[in-house]
C-alpha cells in the first residue's frame, strides 16, 4: 500500500515522541512492503510563533492531500493563564477537527497488566477494563454560538456557549458507535443529560429510533453524572460508549487515568476527510528536550493508523512490540519497574521497539 502521511509534531514533547512514532511507522512499512512518505507541517504554539496562526492554510492543505495525519500534541504554558490571548494553540486543534470534518473521536481505554498498580483504582475493579469512548468532535458547545465575557445593558458581565446539535450530527455519530459495538461485545451505552438538557433529549430521541436497526446490540442509556460514577465503580460495565463533545472530553480524561497508563493511550479522529491519529495525553512542556517522555501512545497511534486502513497484521506487530518492551522493563522513567539495571529514555524505548519489529 502507498501511504502519504502528514506529520504534525506540534509543541512540548511532541517532536520527540513523533520521531519515535515515525521510526516505528517506517520499520513496519519496510517489513510489510508498504511505501510510506511523510510531509511535516506546522501547528500549535509553534505555528503561532512562526506564522501567527495555530493551523495555517498550508498545514490544512498538507493534511487534506494526505491519506492520514499523525499528530503529536499542542499547547504551551505561555498561553494557559491568559484568557485574553487573541490566538491560542488549542484553536489549531479545533480548526483541524472542523476543517477536516473529524466528527468521530475514538478513544480506547484499556489496561496493561503490568501497569495496573499505577491506577488510582483497586486492582480487582480495574483489571480487565476495556472499553471505547466514541466522542462527537465537531459539534456541541465547542462550536456553538459564543459570546465572550462582555458587560451587558444592566452593567453585569456575561458570557455564553451554546450546546447546539442537529439530527444528522447525532445520527452519524451514533452509527459509528453501533459499528464499533458490533465489532466488539455488542453493548452500546448512550451517555447524555436528557433529564435536564434539550440537546440531550434530541440525542436520546434519535438513539431510541435508530437502536431498532441494531437489534444485535444491547443499547442502554445513562446520564453523564451517573456514567462518571460508574466508570470508577465498575469500569468493566462498559464496552462502547457514545456521547457529545463536552461530556466526551471530560469522561475520556477520567477513562485515561483510571487505567494507570495515560502515556500509553492512542486515539483516532475520523470523519469526512483525512483521519488523524494522536496520543490522548498533552504536550507536557516541562518534559521537553529531556528524553523522558513516553513514546508509546504515539507509537500505538501508528498502530491505529495502520488498522484504519485494514492493515491489521501491521497493527498487531506494533502492539506485540510495545507489550514486549513493557515486559522487558524497557520503559521510560515514570513506569519503569524497580530494581532495574538500566535506564531508558524516549529514544531508547523507540529504538528497542524498532529493533523488535525488524527482527520479528
The answer to whether the CB of 235 falls within 8 A of the CB of 270 is: no
Rule CB under 6 A: choose which of 110, 171, 249, 254 binds ligand IPM: 249
347 catalytic residue (yes or no): no
In whole angstroms, the minimum distance from the beta carbon of 315 to ligand IPM comes to 22
Q: By C-beta, is 93 or 206 nearer to ligand IPM?
A: 93
Contact set for ligand IPM, span 53-92 (CB under 6 A): 90
* Segment lying near Mn ion (by CB under 5 A), choices 8-16, 23-31, 212-220, 248-256: 248-256
In the complex, residue closest to ligand IPM by CB: 90
249 binds Mn ion (CB under 5 A): yes
In whole angstroms, the minimum distance from the beta carbon of 115 to Mn ion comes to 21
Q: Which of 11, 103, 142, 178 is catalytic?
A: 142
Dihedral sign from CA coordinates of 339, 340, 345, 351: negative
Closest alpha carbon to 147 in 139, 157, 134, 137: 157
Q: How far apart are CA 312 and CA 302, in angstroms?
A: 12
Q: 3-state class of 86 per DSSP?
A: coil
DSSP state of 40: E
Q: Which three cell numbers stand for residue 138?
A: 465537531
Residue with cell 500505538: 300
Q: Which of 80, 220, 225, 327 is catalytic?
A: 225
90 binds Mn ion (CB under 5 A): no
Helix intervals (H) in 261-345: 296-308, 312-327
93 binds ligand IPM (CB under 6 A): yes
Q: By C-beta, is 94 or 324 nearer to ligand IPM?
A: 94
Q: Which of 103, 165, 193, 214 is catalytic?
A: 193
For residue 74, the Cα-to-chain-centroid distance in whole angstroms is 13
The answer to whether the CB of 152 falls within 8 A of the CB of 118 is: no
User: Which letter, b or e, does each residue of 330-358 get, where b requires 16 or more Cβ atoms within 10 Å of its Cβ?
Assistant: bbbeebeeeeeeeebbbebbbbbbbebbe
253 catalytic residue (yes or no): yes
In whole angstroms, the minimum distance from the beta carbon of 93 to ligand IPM comes to 5
236 catalytic residue (yes or no): no
142 catalytic residue (yes or no): yes
Residue 93 interacting entry, from ligand IPM, Mn ion, none, C-beta within 5 to 8 Å by type: ligand IPM
49 catalytic residue (yes or no): no
- Which residues are catalytically annotated? 142, 193, 225, 249, 253
Amino acid at each position: 500500500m502507498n501511504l502519504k502521511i502528514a506529520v504534525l509534531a506540534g509543541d512540548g514533547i511532541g517532536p520527540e515522541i513523533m520521531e519515535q512514532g515515525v521510526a516505528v511507522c517506517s520499520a513496519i512499512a519496510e517489513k510489510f512492503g508498504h511505501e510510506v512518505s511523510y510531509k511535516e507541517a506546522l501547528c500549535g504554539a509553534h505555528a503561532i510563533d512562526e506564522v501567527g496562526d495555530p493551523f495555517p492554510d498550508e498545514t490544512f492543505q498538507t493534511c487534506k492531500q494526505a491519506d492520514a495525519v499523525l499528530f503529536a500534541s499542542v499547547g504551551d504554558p505561555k498561553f494557559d493563564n491568559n484568557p485574553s490571548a487573541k490566538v491560542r494553540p488549542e484553536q489549531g486543534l479545533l480548526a483541524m477537527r472542523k476543517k477536516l470534518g473529524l466528527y468521530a473521536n475514538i478513544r480506547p481505554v484499556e489496561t496493561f497488566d503490568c501497569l495496573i498498580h499505577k491506577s488510582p483504582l483497586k486492582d480487582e475493579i480495574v483489571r480487565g477494563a476495556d472499553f471505547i469512548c466514541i466522542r462527537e468532535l465537531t459539534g456541541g458547545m465547542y462550536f456553538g454560538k459564543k459570546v465572550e465575557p462582555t458587560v451587558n445593558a444592566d452593567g453585569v458581565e456575561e458570557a455564553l456557549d451554546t450546546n447546539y446539535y442537529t439530527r444528522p450530527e447525532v445520527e452519524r455519530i451514533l452509527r459509528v458507535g453501533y459499528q464499533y459495538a458490533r465489532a466488539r461485545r455488542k453493548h452500546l451505552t448512550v451517555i447524555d443529560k436528557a433529564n435536564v438538557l434539550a440537546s440531550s433529549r434530541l440525542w436520546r430521541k434519535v438513539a431510541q429510533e435508530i437502536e431498532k436497526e441494531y437489534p444485535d446490540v444491547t443499547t442502554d442509556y445513562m446520564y453523564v453524572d451517573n456514567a462518571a460514577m460508574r466508570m470508577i465503580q465498575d469500569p468493566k460495565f462498559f464496552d462502547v460508549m457514545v456521547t457529545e463533545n463536552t461530556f466526551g472530553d471530560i469522561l475520556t480524561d477520567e477513562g485515561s487515568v483510571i487505567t494507570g497508563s495515560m502515556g500509553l493511550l492512542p486515539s483516532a479522529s475520523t470523519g469526512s476527510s483525512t483521519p488523524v491519529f494522536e496520543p490522548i495525553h498533552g504536550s507536557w512542556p516541562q518534559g521537553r528536550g529531556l528524553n523522558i517522555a513516553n513514546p508509546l501512545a504515539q507509537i500505538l497511534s501508528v498502530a491505529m493508523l495502520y488498522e484504519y486502513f485494514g492493515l491489521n497484521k501491521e497493527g498487531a506487530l506494533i502492539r506485540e512490540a510495545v507489550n514486549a518492551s513493557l515486559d522487558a522493563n524497557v520503559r521510560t522513567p515514570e513506569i519503569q519497574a524497580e530494581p532495574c539495571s538500566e535506564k531508558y529514555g524516549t529514544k531508547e524505548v523507540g529504538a528497542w521497539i524498532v529493533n523488535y519489529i525488524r527482527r520479528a
